[in-house]
């Protein structure tokens, strides 16, 4: 298997972004292969703020496959991890590392075990599509280590079998997951609609909303919706196909008004499907609803959408502004309604790209306290200030797709033991 010593360790490290759907995936037509009932479209978020990093190591000394997430060992026995591992192993190719004197033949990969360590640069518990970034990174990094030569479309179809939304994390910018027709899912893959540079003025602000309740997982929630919601069938067959075309056109022509209307409408319809499920599923809470009201009032008072909102399977709001100016005005409104708790620092309450904060004239708590009510609040605005409803805000932007981190010092596994550093 290897020339020379049998105690070598070979590693690869990759980084993969999260994505947020603007036309939602909700419902499977095949549970095992993870084939959806409709196409979906997402934006990829900047990996500097929201991404997964994964190191995969292989060595003849490893006696079983093992995985660690944020430093804790987790079982790799689940069907989804196993499907991804099996599919990547099937595509593995010869690997030669002259410097280390390592030679792995294609067939050796079936017998060799891997160690995998993954880390999210944002709180996993915050419910921010961590599984999408994690599963995509798992597949991407394994494929790099095993010298898989297939294109990213094929890799996306493998990531899909780990978690549906993970397939869209295989590219940067704007991404479409085509539902496909094939019973085996060969055409249910992600494609890039446009790179992040196509529309790089967009600013994204995520409100991480405090929540005590344990939410229904997406997997369980969408299974119940498929079984019980008549609205889901109508949505998948009649509404989404038209919206996908309109959204593609809005992205192509950078038409923010259409982009925002479609994004908000689709988020609201997804949550309507949840409510139409038996028993009903509630992902948004009162804080989520207050954020929607804030944006809707502003958008209506201006006559044209200033900001888009979208919510996944949890109460967090993802807000998309067309440019830095609107993002600053949004931040002012958000901080007026949801100020940081008195003892909190503004710099730990608004994280990510803090330059938006500074451009909006918000340097300190004093500036936040001095914020006037939004002008549209004169028309019956739910403006009571409620500290503590939002845990923190993340300011970010669109970002690029997966990449290999060649710098070995960034690896999460030790090159000598193959265990987490
Ligand atoms: C609401 O991809 O987490 O975020 O395929 O069962 O793993 P599984 O579900 P998952 O569902 C994501 C649902 C969503 C909408 C979306 O991302 O399109």
The alpha carbon of 165 and the centre of ligand 1 are apart by a number of angstroms equal to 5
φ and ψ of 275, to 5 deg? -70, -25
Residue nearest to atom 14 of ligand 1 (CA): 312
Residue 280 belongs to some domain of the structure: yes
The alpha carbon of 62 and the centre of ligand 1 are apart by a number of angstroms equal to 33
Which ligand 1 atom lies nearest to the CA of residue 219?
6
The alpha carbon of 218 and the centre of ligand 1 are apart by a number of angstroms equal to 6
pLDDT tens string 116-163: 999 998 776 566 766 899 999 999 999 999 999 999 999 999 999 999
Residue 1 belongs to some domain of the structure: no
Mean pLDDT of 370-374: 90
What is the rounded CA–CA span in Å between residue 302 and residue 333? 14
Model confidence at 2, pLDDT cuts 50, 70, 90, reads very low
Lowest-confidence pick of 19-33, 236-250, 328-342 = 328-342
Indicate whether 214 and 191 sit together in one domain: no
Indicate whether 139 and 231 sit together in one domain: no
Mean pLDDT of 61-66: 95
Indicate whether 175 and 75 sit together in one domain: yes
Tell me the longest C-alpha to C-alpha distance in the chain: 78
Instruction: Please tell me the predicted confidence (pLDDT) of residue 1.
Output: 54
Contact criterion met (CB below 8 Å) for 303 and 259: no
The alpha carbon of 164 and the centre of ligand 1 are apart by a number of angstroms equal to 6
pLDDT at 79 over 80: yes
Q: What CATH number does the domain containing 130 carry?
A: 3.30.230.10
| Ligand 1 pocket, mutate which of 37, 165, 190, 283 (most atoms under 8 A from CB) | 165
DSSP state of 64: S
pLDDT at 384 over 80: no
DSSP state of 207: E
334 vs 215, more confident: 334
Indicate whether 109 and 185 sit together in one domain: yes
Q: Is the preceding peptide bond at 268 cis, omega within 30 degrees of 0?
A: no
DSSP state of 371: P
Indicate whether 167 and 80 sit together in one domain: yes
What is the rounded CA–CA span in Å between residue 108 and residue 371? 64
Sign of CA dihedral 58, 61, 67, 72: negative
Three-class DSSP category at 40: strand
Residue 324 belongs to some domain of the structure: yes
pLDDT tens string 322-357: 999 999 999 999 999 999 887 668 888 999 999 999
What is the rounded CA–CA span in Å between residue 338 and residue 291? 10
Q: Which two tokens stand for residue 78?
A: 């689940």
The alpha carbon of 166 and the centre of ligand 1 are apart by a number of angstroms equal to 8
In this predicted complex, what is the ipTM? Answer: 0.99
What is the rounded CA–CA span in Å between residue 373 and residue 375? 6
Indicate whether 192 and 207 sit together in one domain: no
Residue 262 belongs to some domain of the structure: yes
Contact criterion met (CB below 8 Å) for 317 and 308: no
90 half-sphere exposure, CB direction, 13 A CA radius? 9
Indicate whether 241 and 353 sit together in one domain: yes
What is the rounded CA–CA span in Å between residue 333 and residue 409? 42
Residue 5 belongs to some domain of the structure: no
Which residues, including other chains, have CB under 8 Å from residue 125's CB and lie 6 or more apart?
none
pLDDT tens string 255-297: 999 999 999 999 999 999 999 999 999 999 999 999 999 999 9
Sign of CA dihedral 348, 354, 358, 360: negative
Instruction: Please tell me the predicted confidence (pLDDT) of residue 377.
Output: 73
Lowest-confidence pick of 76-80, 120-124, 206-210, 289-293 = 120-124
Indicate whether 218 and 164 sit together in one domain: no
| Ligand 1 pocket, mutate which of 22, 25, 133 (most atoms under 8 A from CB) | 25
Indicate whether 43 and 191 sit together in one domain: yes
Contact criterion met (CB below 8 Å) for 27 and 222: yes
Mean pLDDT of 373-398: 78
Indicate whether 324 and 358 sit together in one domain: yes
Residue 421 belongs to some domain of the structure: no
DSSP string, 179-207: --S-TT-TT--EEEEE-GGGGTT-EEEEE
What Rg, from alpha-carbon coordinates, does the chain have? 22
Contact criterion met (CB below 8 Å) for 127 and 316: yes
Q: Which two tokens stand for residue 83?
A: 């499907």
Name every protein residue with a CB atom under 6 angstroms from any ligand 1 atom: 21, 24-26, 34, 40, 131, 163-165, 218-219, 312-313
Instruction: Please tell me the predicted confidence (pLDDT) of residue 72.
Output: 93
Residue nearest to atom 11 of ligand 1 (CA): 218
The alpha carbon of 305 and the centre of ligand 1 are apart by a number of angstroms equal to 26
The alpha carbon of 327 and the centre of ligand 1 are apart by a number of angstroms equal to 27
Q: Rounded mean pLDDT of the chain?
A: 93
pLDDT at 404 over 80: yes
pLDDT at 4 over 60: no
**Structural domain containing residue 372:** 203-397
Q: What CATH number does the domain containing 290 carry?
A: 3.30.70.890
Residue 3 belongs to some domain of the structure: no
What is the rounded CA–CA span in Å between residue 326 and residue 2? 58
Q: Give exposure, 143-167, as e/b (b: 16+ Cβ within 10 Å).
A: bbbbbbeeebbbbbbbbbbbbbbbb
The tally of domains found in the chain comes to 2
Contact criterion met (CB below 8 Å) for 394 and 208: yes
The alpha carbon of 205 and the centre of ligand 1 are apart by a number of angstroms equal to 20
Instruction: Please tell me the predicted confidence (pLDDT) of residue 126.
Output: 60
Indicate whether 218 and 153 sit together in one domain: no
Instruction: Please tell me the predicted confidence (pLDDT) of residue 375.
Output: 87
| Ligand 1 pocket, mutate which of 313, 314, 315, 316 (most atoms under 8 A from CB) | 313
Indicate whether 62 and 113 sit together in one domain: yes
Residue 415 belongs to some domain of the structure: no
Q: Which helix (H) or strand (E) holds 387?
A: none
Mean pLDDT of 50-56: 96
pLDDT at 215 over 90: no
């Amino acid at each position: 298997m290897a020339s020379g010593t049998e105690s070598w360790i070979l590693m690869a490290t990759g980084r993969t972004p999260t994505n947020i759907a603007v036309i939602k995936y909700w419902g499977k037509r095949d549970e095992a292969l993870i084939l959806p009932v409709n196409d979906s479209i997402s934006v990829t978020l900047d990996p500097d703020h929201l991404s997964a990093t994964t190191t995969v190591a292989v060595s003849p000394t490893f006696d079983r496959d093992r995985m660690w997430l944020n430093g804790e060992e987790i079982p790799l026995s689940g069907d989804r991890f196993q499907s991804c591992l099996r599919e990547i192993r099937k595509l593995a190719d010869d690997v030669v590392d002259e410097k280390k004197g390592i030679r792995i033949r294609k067939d050796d990969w079936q017998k060799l075990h891997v160690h995998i360590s993954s880390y999210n640069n944002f709180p996993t518990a915050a419910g921010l599509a961590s599984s999408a970034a994690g599963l995509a990174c798992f597949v991407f990094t394994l494929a790099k280590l095993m010298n898989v030569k297939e294109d990213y479309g094929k890799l996306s179809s493998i990531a899909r079998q780990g978690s549906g939304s993970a397939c869209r994390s295989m590219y940067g910018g704007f991404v479409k997951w085509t539902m496909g027709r094939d019973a085996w899912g060969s055409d249910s893959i992600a494609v890039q609609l446009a790179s992040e540079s196509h529309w790089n003025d967009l600013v994204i602000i995520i409100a991480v909303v405090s929540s005590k309740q344990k939410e229904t997982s997406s997997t369980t929630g969408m299974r119940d919706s498929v079984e019980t919601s008549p609205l889901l069938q109508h949505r998948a067959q009649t509404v989404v196909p038209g919206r996908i075309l309109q959204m593609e056109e809005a992205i192509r022509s950078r038409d923010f008004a259409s982009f925002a209307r479609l994004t908000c409408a689709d988020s609201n319809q997804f949550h309507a499907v949840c409510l139409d499920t038996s028993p009903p599923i509630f992902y948004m809470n009162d804080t989520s609803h207050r954020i929607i009201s804030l944006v809707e009032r502003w958008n209506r008072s201006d006559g044209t959408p200033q900001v888009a909102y979208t919510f996944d399977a949890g109460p967090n709001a993802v807000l998309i502004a067309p440019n830095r100016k609107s993002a600053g005005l949004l931040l002012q409104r958000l901080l007026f309604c949801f100020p940081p708790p008195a003892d909190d620092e503004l710099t730990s309450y608004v994280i990510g790209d803090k330059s938006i904060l500074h451009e909006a004239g918000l340097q300190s708590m004093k500036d936040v306290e001095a914020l006037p009510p939004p002008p549209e609040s004169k028309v019956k605005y739910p403006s009571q200030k409620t500290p503590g409803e939002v845990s923190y805000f993340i300011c970010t932007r669109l970002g690029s797709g997966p990449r290999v981190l060649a710098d070995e010092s960034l690896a999460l596994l030790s090159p000598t033991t193959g265990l987490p550093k």
